[in-house]
Amino acid sequence: MILKQEREELYSCYKKMLETGLTNGTSGNVSLINRKKQLLVISPTGVSFDKLKLEKISIVDFDGNLIDGLMPSSELKMHQILYKNRNDINAIIHGHTVFATTISCLREDLPAIDYMIAVAGGNSVKCAEYATYGTQELAENVLKAMVGRKAALLANHGIIVGAGDIHNAFNIIEQIEYVAELYVRARSIGDPVILSDNEMEKMVNLFKNYGQIK
């Protein structure tokens, strides 16, 4: 089996997303890239976790041609464009999480209501402009929203994160969903205080080495 380790990492991540409520049913997708072999491992389209087997996980080349497994996720373009333009990203998670998606339905950025947002590399998580799922337009909107950052909201859709490996990608989506929940709850009872750009600049610098899974 080619890229067995990457398939196992993807499988474990997808299982953990379901267990922690970061996705449900067949929504969301996960991918990893092997730059040496120039192959991308991505969850197949429309397959529920209970039917997902290692051999069914999709393997495609950099151009999106299927090498092994089932047909890849319909969001393949969104993963491809990040891998081609961001050498710091080797793993991507896209989820339809409740609170991040709630904010994306307002088509607003997620501000620094909590310093943990620094795990995504900035003082906010920007909301990418809306486009139909699976399109090149959406992929380009995501790439733009993630400039200098490791996460973006997708308008009326969900959230996407990228990192150097799958473990840190999961940490980012988990933390950003937590911050998104805080923001939604705080706005329900008042006007949350947003941390200053100066404070967040310090936080981003601190988080370059803090809490990173090696």
Supply φ then ψ for residue 75, to 5 degrees.
-95, 20
Query: Each residue of 193-205: b (16+ CB within 10 Å) or e?
Result: eebeeeebeebbe
CB neighbourhood size of 4 (10 A): 12
Q: Closest Cα partner for 72 from 23, 38, 14, 31? A: 31
User: Which positions are catalytic?
Assistant: 75
Query: Each residue of 21-52: b (16+ CB within 10 Å) or e?
Result: ebbeebebbbbbbeeeeebbbbbbbebebeeb
Contact 150, 161 (CB under 8 A): yes
Cα 5 from Cα 141, distance rounded (Å):
31
Q: Closest Cα partner for 107 from 149, 161, 136, 145? A: 145
Supply φ then ψ for residue 200, to 5 degrees.
-70, -30
